[in-house]
Amino acid sequence: MMMEVSRYVTIGRYVPGDSVLHRLDPRTKLLTFGLLVSTLLVVKGYVPYLLLLGFAVVLLLLSRIPVRYVLAGLRPALWVLAILWVFQIIFSGSSYPDHPTLFRLGSWRATWGGVHAGALNVLRISVLYLLTSLLTLTAGLVELADAGEMLLSPLARLGVPLNEVALVFTIALRFVPTLAEELERLVKAQISRGARLDEGGFLGRARRLIPLVVPLFLSIFDRAEDLILAMEARCYRGGRGRSKAVAFAFQPLDALAAVVVLAVVAAAWLTGLMLPF
């Protein structure tokens, strides 16, 4: 039933564990993740993508998270990916005017160029999906937010209000469960007063959404006033000098991880540049 959903809201997907991946410093996780993702965004080609896919699979095995659990999340996405691939094939005529025609659908012309471009996209997105899953499965969101703040700390010297932004993230993560409870109360109150939330088409659902979402937004502003007062009463002045609850420390393992990832990334760049496919 819909009202039960908010009881099970988990924003992160962190699965505690003791694998090599889990033990890495969160900064290492975030940095190597960023490196791999940006490589995927820039480099193009079957060889580098397959290389990165292979690497991601090795990481998945190293993480000791049940493979089935990760793939279960990928399954619904596969359908959309397949549909997108079909679209990219059907509508590829104008992008590859000199490619021979595979088949025609009305005025649209399918080409091999579309098949290739689509295949590369499916590969790239699958690897990106695996990498994001690995990151969120082996690191908590709060941990990642702290790591991000530390990695970006040079920006603070350039006048970017980094501490403040980090606090925004902390508040957002902290208040999701509270607001989930609030939402659940609203959903139950609506159902108790005769609303039929699951029924109806688009307009009906949209109309019923409003009495849930609008009070939720308004309650935020109530809450905000209390929170502002509390923070000002404690003399909050920016985040300067704020200390972390947990101190991070790089280990030899982090150096090893960095070297391995750099090697994989370099290999992907080189094969992407040098091999014509």
Partner 1 sequence: MSRALIEVKGLFHTYHPNTPFAREALRGVDLKLESGQVLGLVGPSPSGKSTLLQYLNGLYVPQPDQGKVWVLGQDTAAPDTSLWEIRRRVALLFQQPEQQLFEPTVLRDVALGLRNFGVALEDELEKRVREALERAGLDPERVLRRYSRTLSGGERRRVALACILALEPEVLLLDDPLSGLDPRGRWRLLGVLKSLAERGISMVIASTRLDYLIPLVDSLAVMADGRILAFGSLHEVLNREDVLRAAGLQLPEIWRVQQELRSRGLPLGEPAADPAEAARRIARALGVA
Partner 2 sequence: MGLNVRRIVISGLLGAVAILLGATGLGFIPVPTPAAHATIMHVPAVIGGVLEGPVVGLLVGLIFGLFSFLRATNPIFADPLVAILPRLFIGVTSAYAYRGLRRLGMVPGLAVAATVGTLTNTVLVLAMAVLRGYLPAPVAWAVGFTHGVPEIIVAALITVAVGLGLARMTGWEAKDGAS
Instruction: Give contact residues for partner 1 (rule: CB under 8 A).
Output: 3, 7-8, 185-186, 188-196, 211-212, 214-215, 218-219
- Taking every pair of C-alpha atoms in the chain, what is the biggest distance, in angstroms? 72
150 lines the binding site for partner 2 (CB under 8 A): no
Interface stretch with partner 2, choices 63-71, 84-92, 149-157, 248-256 (CB under 8 A): 84-92
Structure tokens at 254: 């982090």
DSSP letters along 16-73, please? ---SHHHHS-HHHHHHHHHHHHHHHHH---HHHHHHHHHHHHHHHHHHT--HHHHHHH
Q: How far is the CB of 47 from partner 2 (least distance, A)?
A: 19
Binding characters for partner 2, 156-195, by CB under 8 A (x = yes): -----x--xx-xxxxxxxxxx-xxx--x------------
Total site size for partner 2, rule CB under 8 A: 65
**Shortest approach of partner 2 to residue 256 CB, angstroms?**
26
Compute φ and ψ for 109, nearest 5 degrees.
-125, 120
Comparing CB distances to partner 2, the nearer of 210 and 247 is 210
Least gap, CB of 13 to partner 1 (angstroms) = 14
Identify the H or E element spanning 79.
helix 67-90
CB of 60 to partner 2, least distance (A): 15
d(CA 112, CA 99): 7
